[in-house]
Chains A and B, each alone.
Chain A
Amino acid sequence: ELKVEQNPLFLSMQEGKNYTIYCNYSTTSDRLYWYRQDPGKSLESLFVLLSNGAVKQEGRLMASLDTKARLSTLHITAAVHDLSATYFCAVVLTSGSRLTFGEGTQLTVNP
């Protein structure tokens, strides 16, 4: 059974600081997705990572994938309050289509 674990689950940080959220998964996969969810809202797709070594950047967020280590990271640069949300990673097995989500990381950026 595929397990997806995020670390940390809760993150409180100051504006202007950098931090990294980690996503580990237990079984071979070469497709990983990052989503953002604001309170009471739906999930918004941020990044699609489809191969080992893939790196995507959008604004202050950068995501990367290391399929050999079964690890993805979401790096936040110079955080701003608008980035406060819950961030989910989701993994699809190489052999399947089922999208399995991590527990989510609740990020709070304080002024």
Chain B
Amino acid sequence: DAGVIQSPRHEVTEMGQEVTLRCKPISGHDYLFWYRQTMMRGLELLIYFNNNVPIDDSGMPEDRFSAKMPNASFSTLKIQPSEPRDSAVYFCASRDGPGTEAFFGQGTRLTVV
């Protein structure tokens, strides 16, 4: 398996624009996580899914953020409208069952100017 695949790797956008980040989890994994990493706040869990169903979205900063998982092999994280404070590295991770480690994608580095 190629691992967790995220796209794009880098995104630069203007404030107010819509941004969509994409993630393909490892095949067969039933948990998918979206994290945000910044120097100030470290690694923050935004939302996670189990069997395509959102379980905990308490980390989503505000209504500008939304995440979907329409099927077991694809998830999106959307920011609309984007703001400079959204600049961060966004990681997607997946795992197979509650006792296993999560495998991380390469991340999307988002810069909002």
Docked Cα-Cα span, A31 to B95, in Å, equals 14
Binds A, one of B16-24, B68-76, B79-87, B100-108: B100-108
| A31-B42 in contact (CB<8A) | no
Beta-carbon contact of B101 and A48 below 8 Å: yes
Chain B residues touching A, range: 20 to 34
Size class of A's contact patch?
20 to 34
User: Would A98 and B101 count as touching, CB distance under 8 A?
Assistant: no
In chain A, residues 87-111, which have Cβ atoms closer than 8 Å to a Cβ of chain B? Answer: 88, 90, 92, 97-101, 103-104
- Which A residues are CB-close (under 8 A) to B105? 42
Q: Are B106 and A98 in contact (CB under 8 A)?
A: no
Residue pair A42, B91 in contact (C-beta under 8 Å): yes
| B61 at interface, CB cutoff 8 A | no
Q: Is A45 engaged at the interface, CB distance under 8 Å to the other chain? A: yes
Q: Is the CB of A97 within 8 A of B55?
A: yes
Collect the chain B residues with CB atoms within 8 Å of residue A99's CB. Answer: 33, 45, 93, 102
A-B contact count, CB below 8 Å? 45
Closest partner residue, chain A, to B100 (CB atom) = A48
A43 lies within 8 A of B91 (CB): yes
Q: Mark B47-87, 1 if CB is under 8 A from A, else 0.
A: 01010000110000000000000000000000000000000
Q: Are A50 and B99 in contact (CB under 8 A)?
A: yes
In whole angstroms, how far apart are the Cα atoms of A104 and B56 in the complex? Answer: 23
Asked, given contacts A98-B56, A101-B43, whether A42 binds B100 with beta carbons under 8 Å apart, the answer is no
A61 to chain B, nearest CB (A): 15
Whole-angstrom CA separation of A22 from B8 in the bound complex:
35
User: Residues of A at under 8 Å CB distance from B?
Assistant: 31, 33, 35, 41-45, 48, 50, 88, 90, 92, 97-101, 103-104
Show 5 A/B contacts (Cβ-Cβ < 8 Å), sorted by A: A48-B100, A99-B102, A100-B45, A101-B45, A104-B43
